[in-house]
Structure 1
Amino acid sequence: MSDWGPVLISVVLFILLSPGLMFQLPGKSKVVEFGNFQTSGISILVHAVIFFALIVIFLLAVASSMADWAPVVVAVVFFALLSPGLFFELPGNDRIIEFGTFRTNRKAMAVHAFIFFVIISIFILALHLHIYAGCTPNCN
């Protein structure tokens, strides 16, 4: 599998699953809310679990024998940390950067997705980070 596979899959899932952009589960007033550009700690946790499940499924589909867990671990950790509104929102609705607002907007989603892409690319492509569970690919 090309090293770009996990990077591209991670970035697409980051965009689609960021709470508040397409949907928020759980929502503020309903179980699911669509396009409300809001988030919360619990919705980031729920979306991170969904992100984890989907990235494992997609990476298993791309690489039938997934031994390297680094793309999954790095992507899930940075999905949670870079979800707009949790720690910061860049750009914010009222200022260039806002902290802990639990809100997002289209520009912030684009900026955070770009930051996510750069970080994933650095860890997976530049640093060649690998996390093997059990046996490395060459041991028998």
Structure 2
Amino acid sequence: MPDWGPVFVAVALFVLLTPGVLIQIPGKNRVVEFGTFQTSGLSVIVHTLIYFTLVCILLLAIQIHMYIFYTATMADWAPVIVGVILFVILSPGLLFSLPGTNRGVDFGNLKTNGKAIAVHTLIFFAIYSILIIAVNLHIYTG
């Protein structure tokens, strides 16, 4: 029975923590900037650490699950690890932005836009869902 809890938590955190959407730490001119649609390598690292912390708390400590029936399992690190890797790779503007600001795809320009955030969120959701739900990827620690 698939557990949709990690998918919804990971996608929501991806949207909320994408640098430049709501907040950027550190900003270009200040420590914290709001709604700049800008990013940097350092802010992706900081936001990834925040993402990792929150996803660990929500999925491992609080154990948010969405089952029809409850099944007890060991700590599954796959949703955390997959989410963190995808967060970094798909942060709009870091490696690429799809669509770009002035072209179909911009590479490494450290800028984003609303359409790119929506597209990257859909890509994140699709890849994350495939790996966690369809492939049923698990990484258990003993």
8 Å Cα contact 2:99-2:105 kept in structure 1: yes
**Residue in 2 that maps onto 1:87:** 95
Q: Within 5 Å, give how 1:84-123 maps onto structure 2.
A: 84-123=92-131
The one-letter code matched in structure 2 to 1:104 is: T
Using the aligned pairs only, state the percent identity.
Answer: 57
Aligned length: 134
Where do 5+ consecutive residues of structure 2 fail to align?
Answer: 66-71
Shift of 1:99: 0.3
The structure 1 segments of at least 4 consecutive aligned residues displaced by more than 2 Å after TM superposition are: 63-66
Shift of 1:2: 5.2
Shift of 1:101: 0.7
Where do 5+ consecutive residues of structure 1 fail to align?
Answer: 135-140
Shift of 1:92: 0.6
CA 51–126 in structure 1, closer or farther in 2 if over 3 Å, else same: same
The one-letter code matched in structure 2 to 1:85 is: G
RMSD: 1.5
**TM-score calculated relative to the size of structure 1:** 0.91
Cα deviations by residue, 1:17-75 (Å, 9 ceiling, x for unpaired): 00000010000010000000000000000000000000111113126975110000000
**TM-score calculated relative to the size of structure 2:** 0.90
